[in-house]
Amino acid sequence: MNMALPDVIQIIREHVRTIPPRMIPLAIAIGLGLVMALSLLLPHRAPPSPLVGRILPSFMLPRVDDIHKSLMPRDFYGQPALLNVFSSWCVPCRAEQPLLMQLSGKVRIYGIAWRDTAENVSAYLSETGNPYQAVALDKIPVTTVTLGIFGVPTTYLVDEKGVIRAKWDTPLDQQMIDKELLPKLEEIQANAKK
């Protein structure tokens, strides 16, 4: 049973013509239902953060290890780096920590402890290991608005000029690291060498 495409179109067209108009709402509703069902099944991506492509917004936060030192966007210049916003009370952050430990060999990681205290952060880091170059404390928190954080963990990839190149507002997993983070990092490093 081989039919040419124009024949098939002709047949469909005839069938469509015989559909009474009162069937049309049902057909549209079925289509709409399918659209919504598919959108539930397909993986969902958030719209890109407006911060991506912009320079890291200014902040100055005291460091956990020494409150007389501070962390600020200047620290990010020179080499690409990750900025990981976490909390000692956040369970997904705890799950993410071993992956960050692995990553810390490949790229500098800075941490911001969000809505947290110095004691809790120190205890947390001694328990899970410390992948960070430096950890700053955001007690109040002031970075919520400037960095657009609506939950922890949130991770930013910042290039050598201090420009945010990617943002993840979900915990990182191995797949995201292999497929998104590392390729982007390599791209940034290759560009920096040129």
Partner 1 sequence: MLGELGLLCVIVAFACTLACALFLTTSKRGDYAGLIAGCLRVAAALTLGALTALMGARVWDDFSVSAVAAHSNRALPLLYKIAGSWGAHEGSMLLWCAVMACFAAVLSRQARNELVLTALCVQAALLAGALAFVLFASNPFTRQIPPPLDGQALTPLLQDVALAAHPPMLYLGYVGFSVVFSLACAGLWHKRLDSDWARMARPWICVPWAALTLGIGLGSWWAYRVLGWGGFWFWDPVENASLLPWLAGTALLHVSRVLEKRGMLAAATALLAILTFAMSLIGTFLVRSGLVTSVHSFASDPARGAYILGYFAVSVGGALTLFAWRAPGGPRPQPLSREGVMLMGAVLLGIACATVLLGTLYPMLAEWLGEGGIAVGALYFQMTVLPVLGLCVVLAGLAQRLRWERDNFSRLAPALVNPALATLAGGLIVLTLATREVALAAVCIALAVWMVAALLFRPRARLSVMLAHGGAALVILGMVGAGLWQSAAHGAPGQALKLGPYTAIYEGMEPVLGPTYHGQGARLRIEDAHGMVLGSLTPQLRMYDGGEHVATPAILPRLWGDIYAVATPEGVELRLEPLIYALWLGCALAASGGLLALRRR
Residue numbers at the binding site for partner 1 (CB under 8 A) = 20, 22-23, 25-26, 29-30, 32-33, 35-40, 42, 44-48, 115, 140-141, 144-145
CA distance 191 to 73: 21
Strand ranges for the chain from DSSP E: 61-62, 70-71, 81-86, 108-114, 134-138, 154-158, 164-168
Q: Which residue, 10 or 146, has its beta carbon nearer to partner 1?
A: 146
Q: Which residue, 6 or 47, has its beta carbon nearer to partner 1?
A: 47
Q: Which residue, 49 or 133, has its beta carbon nearer to partner 1?
A: 49
Q: Which residue, 98 or 183, has its beta carbon nearer to partner 1?
A: 183
Task: Find the shortest distance in angstroms from Cβ 46 to partner 1.
Answer: 6
Q: Which residue, 106 or 115, has its beta carbon nearer to partner 1?
A: 115
| DSSP H/E element including 25 | helix 24-41
- Which pairs from 126-132 meet CB under 8 Å and 24+ separation? 128/94, 128/97, 128/98, 129/97, 129/98, 129/101, 131/97, 131/100, 131/101, 131/103, 131/104, 132/84, 132/104
Task: Find the shortest distance in angstroms from Cβ 189 to partner 1.
Answer: 24
Strand ranges for 33-132 from DSSP E: 61-62, 70-71, 81-86, 108-114
Task: Find the shortest distance in angstroms from Cβ 118 to partner 1.
Answer: 17
CA distance 67 to 131: 19
Task: Find the shortest distance in angstroms from Cβ 34 to partner 1.
Answer: 10
Task: Find the shortest distance in angstroms from Cβ 33 to partner 1.
Answer: 5
